[in-house]
Amino acid sequence: MSPSDDRLHAVLSGYQAPAALRQALAAANRPEIRAGQIWRARVEGTSVTVLIVTDFNAGAGEVVVATPGEAPPADSAIEHRRVATDAFRTLTLWSTVRGTLHHRALDVMIENSATSTGLAQELRSSPRVVTLDEDPFDPGAELLAELRDDLALLQAAPAVPVRTADPVRLAMMLPGTARQQLEQLIEHLGVSQNEAMELHRGRRTVTAEQARALETAIGLELGSLPSSGGIDPDLALEIEHPRWRDAARRRAARTGQAEVTARTSLAAEAYALAARESTKVPDWQQRIALLVAGEP
């Protein structure tokens, strides 16, 4: 090492991250999601710390982006709050980067303390900040926009395909005019005009294969069209819980699949396992745990 490298090494090693933060990350806790917890949320290429503002209901709840490393410059007018928590020496809460997030994007809980619970409580009781006329020249405007884009990426995390009991009117979900939608159905699914009209009006539901073909052809996110062949909604909710992310990620790495595909295949196998048993209402958490225990 050159003397300048030595000097840089000494500086970079001169600060140790808080033990509470390191321990929380090493413990990799993924409990039920409650207001007041701080989580790492991530999709491929993007990782963001969020404070859970409301309890999660049906897999989703409100979060606010909280950054440990970034804050607006001192002369910025952007609404924010700098706080210290048990795990972070400083954390910036961006009140205007707040939105609904599905638990499929959450990864690891970092903190669940009286401090973080109090912060969530304060955010819930304070009115939502709606800034209609933001100054694009504010010194923090670009950072704020980048954080909003990060939150949008998390919100768009790919979902496993969910089976729907009720046929959905594809007219409500496809782009274009009614005529264009019908043409798309005929072209991409190879169905007759009559069948296309039934799907279009919601008298029939597309199969899983048809849904995937249509999503790919039109450029919709995979899993966004409800189909008759998707995953049971309760199982989908369970398999997307953060507690199964490691298992899905390991499978994805082993098989070269995307994480969502690995989640879908885990769910399909858990479903097949349950189908061989007599229990009327399967305990999906237990079924998946059994399956995952046998994974390499």
Binding residue (CB under 8 A) for other proteins from 27, 31, 84, 90: 90
Q: How far is 259 from 138, CA to CA, in rounded Å?
A: 38
Of the candidates 34, 81, 148, 204, which one interacts with other proteins according to CB under 8 A?
148
Q: Burial-class residue 296 by CB neighbours within 10 Å (0-12, 13-18, 19+).
A: exposed
Q: Least distance to other proteins from the beta carbon of 23, Å?
A: 10
By CB under 8 A, residue 67 contacts other proteins:
yes
Using CB under 8 A, pick the residue from 64, 65, 93, 110 that binds other proteins. 110
Between 149 and 283, name the residue whose CB sits nearer to other proteins. 149
Tell which residue, 11, 173, 37, has the closest CA to residue 117.
37
Q: What is the largest CA-CA distance in the chain?
A: 78
Minimal distance, residue 182 CB to other proteins, in Å: 26
Among 49, 181, 210, 261, binds other proteins (CB under 8 A): 49
Radius of gyration of the chain measured on its C-alpha atoms: 23
Which residue do the tokens 């999709």 mark? 43
Stretch that binds other proteins, among 135-143, 162-170, 230-238, 272-280 (CB under 8 A): 135-143
Please check whether residue 86 is in contact with residue 111, taking contact to mean a CB–CB distance below 8 angstroms.
yes
| Rounded least distance, CB 131 to other proteins, Å | 13
Is-contact 162 223, C-beta < 8 A? yes
Query: Tokens 């019908």 label which residue?
Result: 182
Does residue 84 belong to the site contacting other proteins (CB under 8 A)?
no
Distance CA 69, CA 47 (A): 12
Query: How many residues lie near other proteins (CB under 8 A)?
Result: 54
User: 32, 142, 221, 295: which one contacts other proteins (CB under 8 A)?
Assistant: 142
DSSP 8-state symbol, 107:
E
One of 27, 31, 32, 47 touching other proteins (CB under 8 A): 47
What whole-number distance in Å separates Cα of residue 142 and Cα of residue 140? 6
Both structure tokens of 6: 């030595």
When asked if residue 40 is in the footprint of other proteins (CB under 8 A), the reply is yes
Binding site for other proteins (CB under 8 A): 4-5, 7-18, 21-22, 25-26, 40, 42, 44-47, 49, 67-71, 73, 75, 77, 88-90, 107-108, 110, 135-137, 139, 141-146, 148-150, 152-153
